[in-house]
Structure 1
């Protein structure tokens, strides 16, 4: 009798094959029927495949498993101050002229999509104030016009983000300054039924608010997906982790999402099912600068988003595009190199499809333009090239370009970084400023290190430990079609004039 355990340092198929090799050396095998032996092998390989990660949707850009998107209105830097930002380091430089909304990325704020009900800062109701007070049909009619206006291209294939933050669709999550939505909902029911008990009023108010909120959010995104079916539609800040207690308890902060919040995220399955992408946020407060708490904060927020993305669909994991900032929240202090790792690097290693670097109009003032340019030409650009190149390399070496690399152990400290002994990242100066150039080739040691630390999450249409096998489930055609569609997105990183990326054999 033999006891065989799985060594996590090895792939599951290799593990299964090892078990079979062990059996081959035993005399018992020769007593087996050939058919039984084949069934044993098939069972072992099936066991290995059963533990493979759920497939991912094909990437936004062909053969780019992890992208970094610049989404800041910095066009005025060039137009007014003659400061030309080199956005070639980014896979997608947001939109033409660097606007917040356009052919690649479109953000719908609460005043730009239909008749979104909310209360102003002064407590005045806008569009009824609460969702149960506003006509859904009227809202959807206006939303249709707004989508046609903001996204005139019917074949739009970019990121489509709905930014509705005034209220949350779950009653219990409307606290603090959002408690007005609960109070107003209670008033509505109380006026209709003054003789009801407070418990009954609360029960009905909660039901009416949550049902109306769900209808607003679900029907809006369904309409959007019907009108622009190739867009990646989702709500900004969804899912949230609510791990904000780093200020109150910095010494004991774990970063973990409270269990009740993960449970509430599970109850939002109706929203995840209708979304085609998730857009969580990892904006760092300055108090988290270069701290272990910053890593904890980001790690569990992205991990929760990946978890939610995996339960939204039966056949594939939703793409997760993590919203980050190149500066600390509400400041103009650039992220340290350590916090670039804590944000962009952590997101890539956990399996996000990309990071969106969001910025405000503040980025485009005279002094700010120079700060942004120095940062892009320096640490930010250098790190973005490092991570995106390493993700691309790992995808090729480990996953046959048919999947992305994700941590074997999600809580490890493994990152998708180019080995400094194998690769050089240096600036090639030109008329427009520095261009990043990567030269080198991976060593056998680096490749082995990748295999020890990362596994492949195959794209739809592929399976196997190394994504080497066509999937027989009929999804490959769909995945290939997405590749072709998504590859047409404008990507400045593909332009040789913007930056040069040279790999031996890549």
Structure 2
């Protein structure tokens, strides 16, 4: 039975307070904040506009075989012992008392968000945050990973449809006289969406209050929605319309962690590249509309599927594309299942030293050199086609901050780089053994090699080359 305490005056007062703070006070604050925070996030490390973070628990299983992965040698950031929790990054898997339903139908902690005991959940989440991030000065990435259900009612399809069904059952049980199916579903949607927002936004903002210098956000948001069994599609306008329904989540986030996983065993290179570009485009739209360009974006990428490790072609859009969009960096995620024994550690060590490491260093060095060469070290390089997309999103959402002059925008639109179309060609990734990224190697100072890029300036700087102090 639906718990009646959710309909008390106190809960209505709480809901009003949340809505008031979000839709009335927050926009006033956000406008003034965006004016002073620049058009790109601060660098996570000095002079490193783009970083790669290792979020793979490889330390313990490989250290016991006296195999130490040479991540630092290639500029890849990792927590101590390559653990999931540390000074660089912390990822929280369902901490607290989240409501969820098992596959067998058993309901835990209320089962659906509208029945959650939020007070109990917030108390535990508070304790867990302090335990896993003991330093109040934590400045790293803090990822909330909750995937049992999605915060928008109609996003709970396929195996998650049980959350819609249970919500409908609760309404039917409480209002047995109702016969209009539309009325029942509308009420179920309303109750679910309110409950989901209260617990998800509340968890995010409570955690931020404890570790305010951290970059907080939910794993996998924003995301694309499509119909492909492999998930390598992104349907519009379905994606943009439904993501806008959870704009409150993005406004509350101090970092975005979209997922750009692709399955090399199911889809072609062209399809995977196309999907990543679509996901990046949606992330740029969310930035422009909800968060502002000063909020860090750190896409999650998985680099192994079974026995398959990313080739350099995969790394082009798993690593290089986020760098070119102006992301703060990427997170390489992996499971402890990757390391079943010594041979897996040896295999990973060889892969890092021959493929992943050199590729990452190449891209991160290029990002740093480009920043110095054309942004005076006061900004981040963004490839022109991605800047054109961002400017389109800013214009369509009537955002004045970070908007480039019409003449500059028109000129940039005419000169988008050739790579944008190349990414959709299969043969672009079939080289004769020579790395396609070699043309991006920083060498003698030359502005010409950065002609496909423009600058987004850090806080305190403006101008085409970020030379004007604000």
If the length of structure 2 is used for normalisation, what is the TM-score?
Answer: 0.78
CA distance in 1, matches of 2:170, 2:438: 64
Deviation at 1:384, TM superposition (A): 0.3
Is the contact made by 2:57 and 2:335 (CA closer than 8 Å) also made in structure 1? yes
Q: CA 1:297 to 1:145, structure 2 compared with 1: closer, same or farther past 3 Å?
A: same
Q: Deviations over 1:84-127 (max 9, x none)?
A: 110114545331111112221111111xx211111112221111
Q: CA 1:333 to 1:420, structure 2 compared with 1: closer, same or farther past 3 Å?
A: closer
CA distance in 2, matches of 1:289, 1:335: 13
Gaps of 5+ in 2: 1-36, 387-415, 421-434
Is the contact made by 2:363 and 2:440 (CA closer than 8 Å) also made in structure 1? no
The residue number in structure 1 matching 2:444 is: 442
Is the contact made by 1:256 and 1:300 (CA closer than 8 Å) also made in structure 2? yes
Give the match's secondary structure for 2:198. Answer: helix
Aligned match of 2:302 in 303, 318, 325? 325
CA distance in 1, matches of 2:437, 2:321: 17
Gaps of 5+ in 1: 1-52, 424-439, 472-506
Give the match's secondary structure for 1:180. Answer: helix
The residue number in structure 1 matching 2:85 is: 101
The residue number in structure 1 matching 2:152 is: 170
Q: CA 1:247 to 1:138, structure 2 compared with 1: closer, same or farther past 3 Å?
A: closer
Aligned match of 1:186 in 168, 174, 195? 168
Deviation at 1:317, TM superposition (A): 3.3
Q: Does residue 260 in structure 1 map to residue 238 in structure 2?
A: yes
Q: Deviations over 1:172-229 (max 9, x none)?
A: 1111010100011111111111111222221111101000000111110000110000
User: Where does 1:354-373 land on structure 2 (aligned, <5 Å)?
Assistant: 354-366=329-341, 367-373=343-349
Q: Does residue 225 in structure 1 map to residue 201 in structure 2?
A: no
Greater than 6 Å deviation, 4+ residue runs: none
Q: How many pairs are equivalent?
A: 389
The residue number in structure 2 matching 1:480 is: none
The residue number in structure 2 matching 1:311 is: 289
CA distance in 1, matches of 2:53, 2:303: 11
The residue number in structure 2 matching 1:74 is: 58
Aligned match of 1:405 in 381, 401, 406? 381
CA distance in 2, matches of 1:334, 1:265: 31
CA distance in 1, matches of 2:187, 2:66: 59
The residue number in structure 1 matching 2:223 is: 240
| Structure number with higher helix proportion | 2
Q: Deviations over 1:253-287 (max 9, x none)?
A: 8x544211111112222111110000011112123
Is the contact made by 2:299 and 2:329 (CA closer than 8 Å) also made in structure 1? yes
Higher mean C-alpha displacement, 74-83 vs 319-328: 74-83
Aligned match of 1:55 in 26, 39, 55? 39
The residue number in structure 1 matching 2:466 is: 467
Aligned match of 2:49 in 56, 65, 69? 65
Q: Deviations over 1:467-492 (max 9, x none)?
A: 11112xxxxxxxxxxxxxxxxxxxxx
Alpha-carbon RMSD across the aligned residues, in angstroms, is 2.2
The residue number in structure 2 matching 1:352 is: 327
Deviation at 1:244, TM superposition (A): 5.7
Q: Deviations over 1:389-423 (max 9, x none)?
A: 000000000101111111112374549x9984795
Q: Deviations over 1:298-347 (max 9, x none)?
A: 11112211221222235x4321101012213xx12111111111210111
Give the match's secondary structure for 2:289. Answer: helix
Is the contact made by 2:215 and 2:254 (CA closer than 8 Å) also made in structure 1? yes
Deviation at 1:139, TM superposition (A): 1.0
CA distance in 1, matches of 2:382, 2:235: 21
If the length of structure 1 is used for normalisation, what is the TM-score?
Answer: 0.73
